[in-house]
Amino acid sequence: MATRKSQPNFAEVLAELEALVEKLENQDTSLEHSMEAFEKGIALTRSAQKLLDDAEQKVLLLTQNDEGKADLSPAEDDQH
């Protein structure tokens, strides 16, 4: 049975994107290789954006009050 590769986390995607940018900035590459790197960079950027969107959605769900609205007020202090 084949195991499914887990999704990379945001830090991994960002590190890969940074390494790709550094490689492009520090090496003389052909137009073909530059375009391939650009395509990979776009895919990584989209992946990072999806991870951020998913995290934002989770935060919104976790901070909703009983009426479904965001409740970001500080927790009440019970030590009055």
pLDDT digits (tens, 9 = 90+) for 6-57: 888 999 999 999 999 999 898 888 999 999 999 999 999 999 999 999 999 9
Burial class (CB in 10 A: 0-12, 13-18, 19+), 12: middle
Residue 14 falls inside a structural domain? no
70: helix, strand or coil: strand
Domain total of the chain: 1
Residue 71 falls inside a structural domain? no
Residue 46 falls inside a structural domain? yes
Mean pLDDT throughout 51-74? 86
Residue reference for tokens 């954006």: 49
pLDDT the model gives residue 67: 81
Q: Whole-model pTM above 0.85? A: no
Helical (H) or strand (E) element with 36: helix 31-62
68 Rama class: left (phi>0) / alpha (psi -120 to 50) / beta: left
Range of the domain at 51: 31-55
